[in-house]
Each structure stands twice: as structure tokens, then as C-alpha cells.
Amino acid sequence: MTPPPSNYREAFLREQAARQQAEQLLADKSRVLVALNQELQKKVAALEHQHGLFVQAEKMATLGTLCAGVAHEINNPLAYAMSNIESLHSSNCTVYRLLEINQLFLEGALSERELMTQLNVLSESQSLHGLRDDIQELLADSSQGLRRINQTVRNLLDFARPKDNEKQLADMTDAVKNAVKLLSNQLGNCEVNCDYQPLPMTWCNLAAINQVMVNLLINAKHACDDLIDIQSKIMVTVAFINQQICITVGDNGCGMSEHVKAHIFDPFFTTKPVGTGTGMGMTLVYAMVHDHQGVIEIDSQQGRGTQIACHFPILRLE
């Protein structure tokens, strides 16, 4: 028996109402998800901004360690550049008189005999050959010292200046060498041995790798501070092993206990005296190495030194 048309209509209306209700529910849920996604994006952006501020704050704390060494690195070449300029200034009268005699001769105010007489008198007060050699040497030394100051200041500014988080195809060795150069004065009491083997280019943030190396080298130096009868040694190795970039910093310092090794990456954990460390250096190292999909291996024994190896895969594009 065929159902009456009214029943079909009622069933259709019920189905239409249910469909419209489901569509409305889906639209409402979609709007909620869009709103939540937008809020999540804002939170992620805020978190990235705070991470950038955190990294910069740690850099500023590290600069406190660098300042004394950098001041010494600048003061030495500045001192002999200033001394050379004073020596050049003392020779200024002789050079000025020599130019004056030459000009008078060119203008015909002096005869050849008078020129020779004036030059002999001037040569008796100061050797002209010696003056020529001294000026060349003083200028060369001053130029070299000022270039050294310029490079030191550029390295310091490059380290301190806020960086973006953009990666580029580069050689990580450059970041390692810059860190060693930046800390050359702080590591002056240590015997630093560097072994740089050829590396393939990889997608990386050189500023971050530089920060990693600065933190590891400072920690290695502090680990060696209490050595008395033994020469402090720091070993830096850059190599390509098992299809991975391996950057290793080792020292023959005090080493770490099992408790320290277990908590070394914890935020605000430090073995340094109060006021001399933020406790965030190794936390940053872990975050930056992890950002490059790398891993960190620590081999340390108390009284026998520490070796920290950072292993990075080769990244071509993100």
C-alpha cells in the first residue's frame, strides 16, 4: 500500500531540518576552529617574540664576560697606534722643513748650493734615510693595529646585534672560527687546539651556531679555571662523520658529576656562584641545536674533563 503524499512531505521536511541543523552546527564549529587557530597563531608569534628577547638577554649577559677581554684586545693596538702617531708628530717639523726647502728651490729662491747646504743642516739634526724608514714602519704598524681594533669591534657588534631566525646555506665552520676569535683573549691562559676539517654546506643559522660555540667555550674555560699544576687545554674539532656535521668542544677541567649532567639543560640550573651565571646558557644551546634537528652528547668525568659534541644532519632546504 503506497503511503499518502503527506507522509513523504513530513519526512522530507524532517530530513531538511536535520540537514540544516547539521550544517549550522558545522558552520558554528568551523567558526570556533578558525577563532581558535587565529588565537593559536597569535600565541605562537608571541612565544617566538619572547624567545627572541630571551636569546638577546642571554647574549647581553654573555657580553659581561666578554667586555674585559675585548677592552684588552682593543687597548693594546690602540696604545701602540697612539705612540706611533706621537712619533710621527715629532717628525712633523723635519718633514715640513724638508717640503719648505724643496718648494723654495722649485721657486728659484734657493740655488743648488744653498739647497745642499740646507739639506746637510737638516740631515745633521735627523737622518733623512732613517726618517723615511721610520715613517713607513710607523704607518704600517698603526694601520695594522687599527684594522685589528676594527675587526674586534665588528666581531663584538656582530655577536651582540639582534638577529633574525632565518637560515641560509652556509658552512658552520665560519661560526665556530668567529666564536674562537671573539674569545681569543678570554681563552688566553688556555692552550686552544682547533682542528677544522672540510664540511659540506648546510641549511643553518650561523648566528645561532656562533652563540652555541660561545657558550660552550666559556663553560670550558670556567671548567679549567681551578687548574693549578696542569696546563689548561681546550680542544675544538669540526668534522664530517657518518653523514653528519660534528662540532666538539673538549677540556681537561674539573668535569661534571652525574647530578650536573642530569640537570645541565634545565632552565636556571647553574654551578657558578650566585650573580656570575644566568643558568640559561646550556638551555639555549639545547634549543638552538634542536632547532637544527641536531643532538648533543656529553662525555664527562669529575677531575678528568668534559667533551660536548653537537651532531647536525645535513639540511638542504626547510
**Confidence tier at 316 by pLDDT (50, 70, 90):** confident
- Beta-bridged to residue 305, according to DSSP, are 301
* Helical pair 281-291 and 5-90, crossing angle rounded to 10 deg: 120
pLDDT at 236: 96
Query: What pLDDT is stored for residue 186 in this prediction?
Result: 82
Higher-confidence residue of 37 and 76: namely 37
**Cα(304)–Cα(288) distance, integer angstroms:** 27
CB neighbour burial string for 62-93, b if at least 16 within 10 angstroms, e if fewer: beebbeebbeebbeebeeebeebeeeeeeeee
Whether residue 133 sits in one domain with residue 175: no
Match 706611533 to its residue by C-alpha cell.
84
Does residue 57 register a pLDDT over 80? no
Which of the listed residues 117, 132, 158 is the one where a domain comes to its end?
158
Q: Which residues contact 314 (CB under 8 A, 6 or more apart)?
A: 200, 202, 243, 244, 245
Is residue 111 located within the same domain as residue 175? no
Question: Is 218 found in the same domain as 151?
Answer: no
- Same domain? 92 vs 214: no
pLDDT of 74 higher than 90 = no
pLDDT, tens digit, for every residue of 133-190?
A: 788 888 888 888 888 778 777 767 666 666 566 788 999 999 999 889 888 888 888 9
Say which residue, 300 or 6, is predicted with more confidence. Answer: 300
Within a domain: 115: yes
Whether 21 is in a domain gets the answer no
In which domain, by residue range, is 283 found? Answer: 164-313
How many domains in the chain?
2
Residue 109 and residue 237 in one domain: no
